[in-house]
Amino acid sequence: MRVSEFFLLGLSDDPELQPVLFTLFLSMYLVTMLGNLLIILAVTSDAHLHTPMYFFLSNLSLADISFISTTVPKMIVNIQTHSRVISYGSCLTQMSLFILFGIMDDMLLTVMAYDRFVAVCHPLHYQVIMNPCLCSIFILLSFFVSLLDSQVQNSIVLQFACFRAVETSNFFGDPSQLLKLACSDTFTNNVVMYFDGAIFGFLPFLVIFFSYYKIVSSILRVPSSGGKYKAFSTCGSHLSVVCLFYGTALGVYLNSIISQSPKKDVVPSVMYTVVTPMVNPFICSLRNRNIKSAIWRFLSKTISS
C-alpha cells in the first residue's frame, strides 16, 4: 500500500516509562549541546587553539550537534505529545540528514587521524603540510562526500512507494528498517546499501588504522619514555573517540544484518545516535589540558562580563 506517514514505535509502549524517557533523553540532548557548544566556543575564542587539530575538533563538535539534532528532538516531541507519527517526506529528510552527519563524523575522524600522523611523524613540516587551505579543503571534501552518500542511500529508499506496514520499531527513519517494510523485493537494494555502508566505513577506518600504525612505529623509535608519553598523549583523546564511534557503529551495522527482530536494533541505535555525541566532548576535554584551560578561560570571561 502507498503510505503518507510512518509510526515510530520508539523505545517502549509503557505509559509509565514515558516521563522517564522524556527526562532522560532531554537531559542527554542538553548535555550534548552544552558540551559540544563549549568546545566550539572555546576553540573559536582562544587564539592558542587556532591550530588544525582544534579546527577539526570544533567541526567534529558541530557535526555531533547536527547528528543528534536529527533524531532526538523529534523523539522528545513524540513522547511529550503522545504522537508517533512522522510523515513520509519528514522521514526521508530525517534519514538523509542522519546519514549526512553520521558520515561527516566518520570523515572528520579520518582527517583528524591524518593530522595526528603528520604532527607525530613529520613535526618539522607540520605547519607547511597542514596549512589553512588544505584544512578547508578537507572539511569541504568531507561534507560533499557525506552529502553524496546520503543522497545515494536516500535514492534507494525513494524507489519504493508501497510498504506492507507503516510501523517501524526504531525512534527515527532508519533506512534498513524502511527497506524491510517495502512490498517489493529489496535484496539488490539491501546489498547495495550494506556495500555502501561497508565502503564508507571500511575505507576511512583503513586510513585511520594506517595512520596510527605509522604513529606507533614512530613513537616506538623515540628514545625517552617522556617523549613517548608526550607523543602518544596528543593522540589519546582522538583514539578514544574513534574506538567509541566505530564500536557503536559496528554494533548497529552487524545487528541490522544478523538480527531478525527489529526491536533489537533500538538499543544499539541509542548508543550510536545519542550516547556517542554526548560522550565525545567529555573525552576530548578531560584528556586535553589545552581544551580544559580554554573552556575555563571562556567561562570565567563570560561570567565576569
Give phi and psi for 12, each to the nearest 5.
-155, 150
Taken as a whole, the chain contains a residue count of 305
Highest mean pLDDT among 5-14, 28-37, 221-230: 28-37
Q: Residue 252: which domain range?
A: 5-304
For range 232-237, the mean pLDDT: 77
For residue 3, pLDDT beyond 70: no
Q: Give how many domains the chain has, as a whole number.
A: 1
pLDDT of the residue at 192: 74
The CATH number assigned to the domain holding 213 equals 1.20.1070.10
Q: What percent of the chain has pLDDT over 70?
A: 86
pLDDT tens digit sequence for 189-218: 667 777 777 777 788 989 999 999 999 888
For range 9-21, the mean pLDDT: 80
pLDDT of the residue at 282: 86
pLDDT of the residue at 255: 66
Binned at pLDDT 50, 70 and 90, residue 158 comes out as confident
For range 72-77, the mean pLDDT: 88
For residue 242, pLDDT beyond 80: yes
Asked if 200 and 106 touch (Cβ cutoff 8 Å), the reply is yes
Binned at pLDDT 50, 70 and 90, residue 163 comes out as low
> CA-CA distance, 72 to 44, in Å (whole number)?
27
pLDDT of the residue at 264: 59
List of residues 6+ apart from 265 with CB closer than 8 A: 169, 170, 174, 176, 177, 252, 255, 256, 259
Mean of pLDDT over the chain = 83
**Residue 222, phi-psi category: left (phi > 0), alpha (psi -120 to 50), beta (remainder):** beta
